[in-house]
Amino acid sequence: MRWKRAISVLGSTALLLGGLAIPARATASSPTVTIGVGHADFPNQNPFQHRIFEYTDFFSRDVSVHAGDLVDFQTAPTEFHSIALAPAVIPLPLFLADTDDAPAKGSGLPKVTGGPALPLAFTGPTCGAFGMPPCTFNGSRPVNSGSIAGFGPNGPAAVDWNVQIDSGTPLGTYHYFCYIHPGMQGLLHVVDPSVSGTTQAQISNDSSSQFAADQGAALALEAADSSAGPSSGAPGSRTWTVHVGDTTSGNHVAILEMMPQALPNTVSGDTVDYVWGALEPHTVGFGPDANLPEPFGWDCGKSFVGFPLQGGPGAPPACVEVEQGRPEIIGDPGTPTRGCWSVALTE
């Protein structure tokens, strides 16, 4: 899986598209409550072993506060998310099927192109983070963190996004969610002052139970995907399956690795099926990275102009297609959102 030396291909792309700086942790005043965004799990988050569990979950998913409180959405080290607090979940897709170009080679499925959430997800914060004043939420319109990557100037670090609940916010239930990860959602209840809000200790207890369940599901899925053997038949006629990432049934952990990571017993004539299971786009390539196309770039009709790995994408080239009023961003040709890619092995 040709991806994320640090977090994920999406995280790397965010740094490119948004020019996202990675400053020190925010220094806002003490929040009333802290809600975890993702979760640290360093034994299972090692990019140098090509293995990362990305927790697409809020810790916890149900919190009560009062008008006037400050809420800290704290992105865990190495995680990458784009958080929103709104009257209702806004179902904007991050990527769409690219229907105006030829399907991806190998899978026959559409390539992917940027969806309407892409600008929201890959724009840096304008409030609430990195020493800026808190964002203000009054219950009438959404506030969005932009892209938040869990890195500080010296490596992985928690990053805070602070939201002040306006004193005039109507009582009721509001929604926090991630534009990048479908199903990553929680409920924020603004309750009457006579009703107790959720304490940090309660959040910690709920989060501990959530994390144990999420981690257990991820470890079980990883073991199952890594242990599958080939189809029956003689060597040279078998089919092997490699999972290009996977997502737990509750959509709360994205496993960002190839499973299994090695196929030592394949022979000429065998076939390897690469199966996309993660709710994030990935690419598969063979050979040194220098010989492979960049993960994302500009769609130029029959050509592809990849973003450089350093320095950001720059201005769109003259050849770029325009869709929905925007220059079209596309995934590396050959990348399906879901499906299977078969490779026959030869001498």
Supply the pLDDT for residue 50.
84
Supply the pLDDT for residue 106.
66
**Element of type H or E holding 304:** strand 303-306
Cα–Cα–Cα angle for 97, 337, 300, rounded to 5 degrees: 50
One pLDDT digit (tens) per residue for the chain, 347 residues: 443 333 333 343 333 333 333 333 334 455 789 999 999 999 998 877 888 899 999 999 999 999 999 999 999 998 999 999 999 999 888 888 777 777 776 677 777 777 888 777 768 899 999 999 999 999 999 999 998 989 888 888 999 999 999 999 999 999 999 998 888 999 999 999 999 999 999 999 999 999 999 999 999 999 999 998 898 999 999 999 999 899 999 899 999 999 998 888 889 999 998 888 767 777 777 777 667 777 778 888 777 888 876 655 678 888 888 876 778 887 766 544 445 555 555 44
Q: Give the N- to C-terminal CA distance of the chain in Å, as an integer.
A: 23
Supply the pLDDT for residue 214.
97
- The rounded distance, in Å, linking the Cα atoms of 296 and 299 is 9
- The rounded distance, in Å, linking the Cα atoms of 73 and 134 is 11
- Residues 296, 335 contacting (CB under 8 angstroms): no
Q: What is the DSSP letter of 24?
A: P
- The rounded distance, in Å, linking the Cα atoms of 39 and 17 is 24
Q: What one-character-per-residue DSSP string does 135-180 give?
A: EEE-SSS-EEEEEEESEETTEE--EEEEEEE-TTPPSEEEEEEESS
User: Regarding the domain delimited by 9-92+116-214, which CATH topology (the fold level of the hierarchy) does it fall under?
Assistant: Immunoglobulin-like (2.60.40)
Cis bond before residue 293 (omega within 30° of 0): no
């919190």: which residue's tokens?
63
Measured over the CA atoms of residue 77, residue 160, residue 138 and residue 65, the dihedral's sign is: positive
Q: In the chain, which segments carry CATH 2.60.40.420?
A: 9-92+116-214
- Strand, helix or coil for residue 290: helix
pTM value is: 0.81
Supply the pLDDT for residue 344.
52
- Strand, helix or coil for residue 204: helix
Do the bridges between strand 45-46 and strand 70-75 make them parallel or antiparallel, or are there none, so unpaired?
unpaired
- The rounded distance, in Å, linking the Cα atoms of 234 and 229 is 13
Q: What is the DSSP letter of 12?
A: H
